[in-house]
Structure 1
Amino acid sequence: MQLKKWLIAIPLSVSLLSLSGCSVLERFVYRIDINQGNYVEQKEVNKLRLGMTKDQVRFVMGSPMLVENGYPDIWYYIYRHTAGHEAPVQKDLVVYFDNQGKLTKISGDYPPSKSFDDAAS
């Protein structure tokens, strides 16, 4: 009878000890979703037009996440989403202006609209 208890207890304790240091238990710990940066949707990018001023772009897109020192005519809209235990997803939009502060091009994860080349009024 005593031997049966030990035959059950030893493998059970070994399996519990091996799980304690394993990342399997980490999956049971709740992690909140983390959103950082500028949330950008394609419908906002579709409103951008060649020749828009910086104020007009700021009105449509909001303030940029980053404007580098020395390069005030390049704005970065960066969005990073981490859902619980999943790998983070990052989406970027870079907006370029000329020396007069007029929008010249955009690049990144969001394509320009078909009417992007239509001059802004």
Structure 2
Amino acid sequence: MQMPFSKDRTPALASLLCLALVAGVAGCASKNPLMDDAPAQATARPAAAPSMAADGAQRTGPTGLRRFLGVLSPYRVDVQQGNFVSRETVDQLKEGMRSPDGVTREQVKFVLGTPLLADPFHADRWDYVFRLQKRNGEVLTSHVTAHFQGNKLVDIDGGNLPTEKEYLAMISGSAPGDTPSVRAK
């Protein structure tokens, strides 16, 4: 007794073979996310990573597929880590360093906030690291270091930091000089 379906197996086998071939080719073309591709990233970063200054705040935007498919991604929140230190606050501390009394650790903590890194091996150094990752993939980072001698601030490094207005413009995505117009009714 023969089965009625056993006569015509060639189209089913051909379609199964075609499906296996397509799956195999697609698997070869995909990139393993666990493998690090360091040389390609190193060459792609300088063109895709405009920065505000070499040693100040740095700003990088989304690249490649993430930039192209950004509208199809799920909602993401802005993630801010660390204390934002503006150019005005650093200037305020530098001005205080010129006074005869100087600036104490408590005053630095009042102006800049609690340091993100207070290394026990370098007790006379506080690091203020800031990172903001926006929902579109853009990343803003800055690093400010305060150096003390005893209880007095002797130096503060941070490079070319943005002002508070520039920082707010970066968050909102507008130009630094733009202010929202208010209509009177």
Deviation at 1:43, TM superposition (A): 1.8
| Aligned amino acid, residue 61 of structure 1 | L
Alignment of 1:68-107 (within 5 A): 68-98=119-149, 100-107=150-157
Is 2:90–2:156's contact at 8 Å kept on the other side of the alignment? no
Is 1:93–1:110's contact at 8 Å kept on the other side of the alignment? no
Is 1:75–1:95's contact at 8 Å kept on the other side of the alignment? yes
* Match in the other structure for 2:80: 35
| Aligned amino acid, residue 77 of structure 1 | Y
TM-score computed with the length of structure 2 as normaliser: 0.44
How far apart, in 1, do the equivalents of 2:131 and 2:159 lie? 12
How far apart, in 2, do the equivalents of 1:52 and 1:73 lie? 14
| Aligned amino acid, residue 145 of structure 2 | V
TM-score computed with the length of structure 1 as normaliser: 0.64
How far apart, in 2, do the equivalents of 1:110 and 1:57 lie? 19
Instruction: Report Cα offsets for 1:47-95 as digits up to 9, x if no partner.
Output: 1022311011111111111111211110011110111132322111100
Is 2:79–2:134's contact at 8 Å kept on the other side of the alignment? yes
Structure 1 unaligned spans of 5+: 1-17, 112-121
- Among 113, 128, 134, the alignment partner of 1:62 is 113
User: How many residues are matched?
Assistant: 91
* Match in the other structure for 2:20: none
* Higher relative contact order, structure no. (Cα contacts within 8 Å, ≥ 6 residues apart): 1
Structure 2 unaligned spans of 5+: 1-25, 31-64, 162-185
Higher fraction of helix: 2
The alignment partner of 1:46 has SS state of helix
* Match in the other structure for 1:12: none
Give percent identity, aligned residues only: 31
| Aligned amino acid, residue 103 of structure 1 | L
Cα RMSD of the aligned pairs, angstroms, is 2.3
* Match in the other structure for 2:90: 45
Higher fraction of strand: 1
The alignment partner of 1:47 has SS state of helix
